[in-house]
Amino acid sequence: MSSTIAIVTFEDPKQASHVLKSVQEFEKEKLVSLKDAVVVVKDDNGKVDVKETHDFTTGRGAAVGGALGFVVGVVVGGPVGGVLLGAAAGALTAKKVDLGISKEKIASVSENMQNNSSALFLQILSVQKEGLLKALVRDSGGEVLEIELSDDHEADIEDALSDSVARH
C-alpha cells in the first residue's frame, strides 16, 4: 500500500502532540489512515525527545511472531516452544526492519530544529476528505517542512497535470 510522508514543524514544543491528537481523532472517525506517526520535541537545552506512535514496534513484532510461531509449533508438534521462538523472531525483526518513517530523516530534522520547538512526522496511507489535513496544519500554525510522495501518488499527480495540460 502506498503512502505519503508529511513533516510539519511548530514553534511551540507542545503543538505537534496536540495536532497528532487531532489526527488520531480523524483516524478514529475513519477520515484518515496512518501507518506511522512520530512527534519530536526539542527542549530549551537542545535535548531531543522522540515519540513514535504507529510504527511496527518490538511488542507488535513479538505478538505477530508469537502468533506465527504458535501456528508453526502446532504443525511441528510443540506449541509452547513455537510461540517462544516466534515471539523472539518477531521482536528481533521489528528491531531490524523499519516499516515506517526512517530514523535518519527524524535525526536530520531534529538536528535542524530550534530549541523549544516540535515536529510531527506522519506517514499517511489515505485521507477521505480532501483538504482535511491541510486545514488542520494551517489552523495549528505549523509549517510544512517536507512532503515525500509515494511513487503511486507521484504518478497520480503527473497524470492529473498531463491531463490538465492536454485540455488547454
Furthest CA-CA distance within the chain: 68
Pair 33, 114 in one domain: yes
- Please write the tens of the pLDDT for every residue from 121-152: 999 888 888 888 888 988 999 998 878 765 55
Pick the residue with more confidence: 97 or 19?
A: 19
pLDDT digits (tens, 9 = 90+) for 14-26: 999 999 999 999 9
The three three-digit cell numbers of residue 16, written as one number: 505537534
Tell me: do 42 and 65 sit in the same domain: no
**Same domain membership, residue 36 and residue 14:** yes
pTM of the model: 0.64
| Dist CA 142 CA 39 (whole Å) | 13
Note whether 149 and 157 are within 8 A (CB).
yes
Q: What is the count of structural domains for the chain?
A: 2
Range of the domain at 154: 4-55+101-167
Among the listed residues 22, 17, 16, 21, the one whose alpha carbon sits nearest the alpha carbon of residue 132: 22
pLDDT value of position 134: 85
Same-domain check for residues 19 and 75:
no
Q: Note the pLDDT tens digit of each residue in 50-92.
A: 998 865 444 444 444 444 444 444 444 444 444 444 444 444 4
User: What does each C-alpha distance from 58 to 38, 61, 83, 108 come to in angstroms?
Assistant: 16, 5, 15, 23
